[in-house]
Structure 1
C-alpha cells in the first residue's frame, strides 16, 4: 500500500546541516498496524510526516499504491492527503463550535466526498456507532471527556474511508484505561475497514496492538 525507499531528510540552518533520516526503507500493508518506536529525536515523527506527504524527503522515494508521491505536484499530494489519508494526533483538535456530527460533516466536505445528503447522515451514524459514541453526536467538544474527544477524532479520520491512517502519539494525553480503549479501537477499525495504519508511540504497553514494530534510533531503523 505504501513503501518508502532509501528516504533521507536533512535540515539546513545557515552553515549547519543536520540529517534527521538516514536512508529509511520500509513497507506498510493493508489491514495491518505498524508501530514506530524509539527515543525522542530518533526521527519517528519526521518519518510519519514524510510518509503522509506533509513534508518532502530530501532524497529517496515514497510510493503510494505504486505512484511516486516524491515527484508529484503539491496539489496532487494534497488531494491524496484529503481523500486517501486519515490523521489522528496526540490531541483531538476538534473545532470548539461544531457538534460531533458537524465535525464529521466538515471532514467529508474537506475530502470532497460525493455522498448525497441522506447517505452522509447514514454514514455518520454508522461511523459513530463503530467508535461507540453515537449517543454524543449532538454534543460539543467542551462537554466531552478526553477519551470521547479522541474517539471523535478517530471517527473524523475514518469518515471518508481512507486507505491509510496515520496516528502520532494518539494515546499520549490519555490515562492507561483510555489508552487501551483507543488502541483497541484503532486495531479493530484497521482490521474491519482494511486500512493501512502507521502509529508513532512512546508507550511500549501499546505495542501489543501492532502487527509490526519498527525500532528507530538516530535516524535509522534498528
Structure 2
C-alpha cells in the first residue's frame, strides 16, 4: 500500500544572483513496510529529497503527499505536528542528549509526540522497544558510557518509540565499522517489517543496499 508519494518535485537554491537547480523533477513512491535506499554521488540530490519529504524544507515545485495529505500545502505548524507524531529520524550521529539516560532518551520522544498512553503503559513501551534493540540492560546508562553501535541502537529505539509511519535515515551506518553497520541495518530492516514502518534511507555504503526493498540511484538531480 502506498504511504508516501513525491510528484514532480523540483528544488532550486539561490546564492546571490546564481540559481542552482538541485532537483529536476523527482517522482517517487514509498510503500508501507518497505525500505527505500537513495544512493548516488555527493551533490546528486539524495539528502535534499529526504529533507523535503520530511517537511524540513519545501520544494520549489511539485508536491509531497503523505497518507493522502499534501504536505506541500500545509502550514509550518501543521507540518511540525505531523513530523512529531508520524515521522522518526536516524542520523549519521546518534545525537543522544548527554545528560539523559538511555530510557530517558525515549521518554522525551514520547512527550514530544504527545503520547496518549498512560504513564505505566509508556514505561512498558520503552522497556519493550529497548528489549527489541537489545539495550534494556543499559537503560540507566548515559551516552558517554555507550559504544558507537550501542548509541545508534538507542537512536533507532528513540526514532521508533512513538510508532511513526515514516522513518527517515540519513547515513545511519556512516560512523560505524562493518560489523556494527550490518547489525544496525539488520535492526532497521527487522523493525521496519515488525512495526510496518516505511523507511527512506540515504546511504553511500553499497553493502547496505541488500537490506533495501527499493533502490533509487540519483545523478545530477534526477533519478536514473
- Quick check: TM above 0.5? yes
Q: Name the residue aligned to 2:215.
A: 213
What SS does the aligned partner of 1:121 have? Answer: helix
Q: Name the residue aligned to 1:35.
A: 37
1:125 matched to 2:127: yes
CA-CA distance at 1:116 after TM superposition: 1.0
CA-CA distance at 1:127 after TM superposition: 0.4
Q: Name the residue aligned to 1:45.
A: 47
1:113 matched to 2:115: yes
CA-CA distance at 1:115 after TM superposition: 1.4
What SS does the aligned partner of 2:88 have? Answer: strand
CA-CA distance at 1:82 after TM superposition: 0.2
CA-CA distance at 1:107 after TM superposition: 0.5
Q: Name the residue aligned to 2:150.
A: 148
2-structure distance, mates of 1:104, 1:115: 14
Deviations 1:161-181 (A, max 9, x none): 000000000000000000000
Which aligned pairs between 1:96-107 and structure 2 lie closer than 5 A?
Answer: 96-107=98-109
Match of 1:166 among 156, 168, 176: 168
CA-CA distance at 1:55 after TM superposition: 0.5
What SS does the aligned partner of 2:12 have? Answer: strand
2-structure distance, mates of 1:15, 1:99: 48
CA-CA distance at 1:114 after TM superposition: 1.3
2-structure distance, mates of 1:183, 1:112: 28
2-structure distance, mates of 1:111, 1:90: 22
- Aligned residue pairs: how many? 222
TM-score normalised over the length of structure 1: 0.99
Q: Name the residue aligned to 2:188.
A: 186
Match of 1:80 among 82, 95, 110: 82
Spell out structure 1 runs of 4+ moving beyond 4 A: none
Deviations 1:70-92 (A, max 9, x none): 00011110000000000000000
RMSD: 0.4
What SS does the aligned partner of 1:171 have? Answer: coil
What SS does the aligned partner of 1:206 have? Answer: helix
2-structure distance, mates of 1:72, 1:132: 38
